[in-house]
Structure 1
Amino acid sequence: MQSSVATATVSPRKKQNIQKVGVSETPKEEDHDRFFWTYTEEPHRTRRQAIIKAHPEVTKLCGPEPLTKYLVALVVSIQVLCAYLLRNTPILSWPFLLTAYIIGATANQNLFLAIHEISHNLAFRSPLANRVFAVFANLPIGIPYSASFRPYHLTHHKSLGVDGLDTDLPTPLEALFLDSVLGKAFFCTFQILFYALRPMFVYKLPLTKIHVFNIVAQFTFDYALAKFAGANGLGYLILSSFLAGSLHPCAGHFIAEHYVFSPPPPEAMDAANRIPIPETYSYYGPLNILTYNVGLHNEHHDFPAVPWTRLPELNRIAHEFYDELPRHTSWVYVIWQFIWDRDVGLWCRVKRKEGGRKVGGSLWREDELGANEKVGPIPGVR
């Protein structure tokens, strides 16, 4: 099957005997754990330092992007308007369903990724302003989400691939039971629920003031919207959120970012070489326009304090570091290949036992990976 990845591929499943880097596994153990295990640190820190050494001017790209707050306000307004206009439209009708899929899901996926930007303190310089604005961006999503997303996501950056810390990783139970075409189709259809529920099964966050504020603000908004636009208006927003994380073109980024579609190079199989396995994939296609350039994912993980508008410039300046990295050419085809290719699935993730730590335990103050931190050898990471 043709791959959505721009580099040549070899079947990861056909390489099961070497999926644990530098470790000899018995077939029985491989049946229960077929992730790509590595014992090197994640590659972004190393590449970040190399890029800064070669192009020190990239550090000037860090900092908030004022445009973000205006786009968020626009999209929130569009969703509230659509909810009001659909207040008397039956949910099980083509006008309602098509609006929810074409406009609503795209808009709410945009807001998911706006919250992603804001979690890195890239909308305002003030940490408090970013926390509060993330709650505002959360309103059309219908479910309180932004306060919990931030610490889980920052831990994902600080602990990429670390077993028990990175909640973006599928659990062995998910990978085992969804290891089929139907299982992967189920995962892609309901992946928004997996991303919402999985973190709570990996580790729980303490309830803080920002979580309470997020919950109160969200349910107050939901109640007001239901009174103003009826149950159908609120149902439109909830359905939009579900479809945004289901079989929608923009939802392809969830799978495209870190699932391994091309296997590790043979030299990486020897732990003595200490060669990192490519575990982050970028996408440079047109859907980035709707998703805050989240497709430039290697660039984002290398420099999380660079906002979405300046990631293309980062790629231009340091192109020699990105030109040869594996990339996807289509998010739609990513979903198709993930479901139908028997050699791609939930097992195809890079995992490591050690490194990283939990991030984001504070209430309002500036924490890890924020845009306002001093830019040193590892910009955006304290």
Structure 2
Amino acid sequence: MAMSSSVSTATITPRTSNKSDENMSTTSEQEQVSPPGDVGADYDHFFWTYTEEPHRTRRQAIIKAHPEVLKLCGPELLTFPLVLAVVTLQILCAYALRHTPVLSLPYLLTAYAIGATANQNLFLAIHEITHNLAFKSPLANRLLAILANLPIGIPYSASFRPYHLTHHKSLGVDGLDTDLPTALEAWFLDSVAGKAFFATFQILFYALRPMMVYQLPLTWIHALNVVAQLAFDVLLVRYAGGRALGYLILSSFLAGSLHPCAGHFIAEHYVFGQQSRAQDAAAAKQAAPEETYSYYGVLNYLTYNVGLHNEHHDFPAVPWTRLWKLNAIANEFYRDLPCHHSWVGVIWQFVLDKEVGLWCRVKRSQGGRKVGGTGGHGQPMG
């Protein structure tokens, strides 16, 4: 795969022409970059499109060309011992720091270098488990997710599951995909300072935004998640002190802040390069840009290969250990897609490049479905 190497590490590799580009050109007349409804284009600069999200189409094409990829689907038992190891590591670190001042260099460095990396790993373990990729049993996966949640300090694994599965079923759909920034966020944070604030506190945006978009009904697994987390936190404070719990919560914050591994949050679906926020008539007629981007660097070793994000969205039932094999088997479908070369570079470019910001997301006003919860008239969804 040809890649530019002398430019910014966050530069998107240009995509060459292929069949999907030809298909896209036939439907470009149906696409638009102005939002539906009565929100004016002057106040909304997202990439609005009425075409289907690309992953279903590519998945069907890959299965037709390489039916053997379906053998890659299924749980990966290695996830369980890895979760146990990282949970144990974080508990030991929290206990070791129980007498260390919070503002001391050892405490802060440990929270950033070890704690944030470990908790980001647990975030993405929960992501894997959400897709039922640790065990065959759905219940076993839910319970493992609650276990993986413990060092994060705040219960979230049960609510993450329906929101994230909806993200897959409704990629880019306004009002359903809670990974999308709202117009208010994009407008208010449309500056270097605003984007720096977002990159620093993005974990809070991802935690709070879903509840602002739509509410999920509470279930017994939510209750178990909360009870288990509160019991763990109380026991940790009782036997190791408040600084131990503070270490875990600080680790979670730093994991979603200005940390190399946190670059994946921005890298996965934000549009980079020269395609962003084009306002001229010619650009308004062109097809919407790619909306998912992969990263093939070394940080995948710490993050359950979440960088292989096109591959993951194409085949959510393929576990982290087999995504590279999927890429190898169907390489003709992936080698020319735009990709990132550095998550650190992604954060840097996102903050400083005036052509990149929270507006740079592909949105669609229809399609998809909600996983979990109920519809507006009490009908079950998903």
Superposed pair shares fold, TM > 0.5: yes
Matches within 5 A, 1:175-190: 175-190=186-201
1:289 to 277, 295, 301: 301
The match for 1:110 is 121
Q: Does the CA contact (< 8 Å) of 1:100 and 1:239 recur in 2?
A: yes
TM-score, normalization by structure 1: 0.88
| 1:7 to partner: Cα distance | 1.7
Secondary structure at the residue paired with 2:13? Answer: coil
Secondary structure at the residue paired with 1:258? Answer: coil
Q: Does the CA contact (< 8 Å) of 1:154 and 1:359 recur in 2?
A: yes
Question: Partners in 1 of 2:34 and 2:368 — Cα distance?
Answer: 25
1:344 to 337, 346, 356: 356
| Residue identity in the other structure for 1:310 | R
| Residue identity in the other structure for 1:170 | P
The match for 2:10 is 4
The match for 1:22 is 32
Q: Which runs of 5+ in 1 are unaligned?
A: 10-17, 369-381
| 1:269 to partner: Cα distance | 5.0
Identity percentage over the alignment? 74
| 1:124 to partner: Cα distance | 0.4
2:70 to 59, 68, 78: 59
The match for 2:220 is 209
Secondary structure at the residue paired with 2:40? Answer: helix
| 1:222 to partner: Cα distance | 0.2
Question: Partners in 2 of 1:2 and 1:73 — Cα distance?
Answer: 38
| Residue identity in the other structure for 2:72 | L
TM-score, normalization by structure 2: 0.88
Matches within 5 A, 1:146-157: 146-157=157-168
Instruction: Tell me: CA distance 1:23–1:37, structure 2 relative to 1, closer, same or farther (3 Å).
Output: closer
The match for 1:318 is 330
Matches within 5 A, 1:232-311: 232-262=243-273, 263=275, 269-270=284-285, 277-311=289-323
The match for 2:4 is none
CA RMSD in angstroms comes to 2.4
What are the Cα deviations for residues 8-50 of structure 1, in whole angstroms up to 9, with x where unaligned?
A: 49xxxxxxxx9x943678xx92331000011100000000000
What are the Cα deviations for residues 117-136 of structure 1, in whole angstroms up to 9, with x where unaligned?
A: 00000000000000111000
Instruction: Tell me: CA distance 1:315–1:24, structure 2 relative to 1, closer, same or farther (3 Å).
Output: closer
Secondary structure at the residue paired with 1:357? Answer: coil
The match for 1:49 is 60
Question: Partners in 2 of 1:179 and 1:276 — Cα distance?
Answer: 21
2:184 to 167, 173, 194: 173
Once the two structures are overlaid, the 10-residue window that deviates more, 28-37 or 314-323, is 28-37
Instruction: Tell me: CA distance 1:133–1:361, structure 2 relative to 1, closer, same or farther (3 Å).
Output: farther
| 1:308 to partner: Cα distance | 0.1
The match for 1:96 is 107
**How many residues end up aligned between the 2 structures?**
352
Instruction: Tell me: CA distance 1:269–1:48, structure 2 relative to 1, closer, same or farther (3 Å).
Output: farther
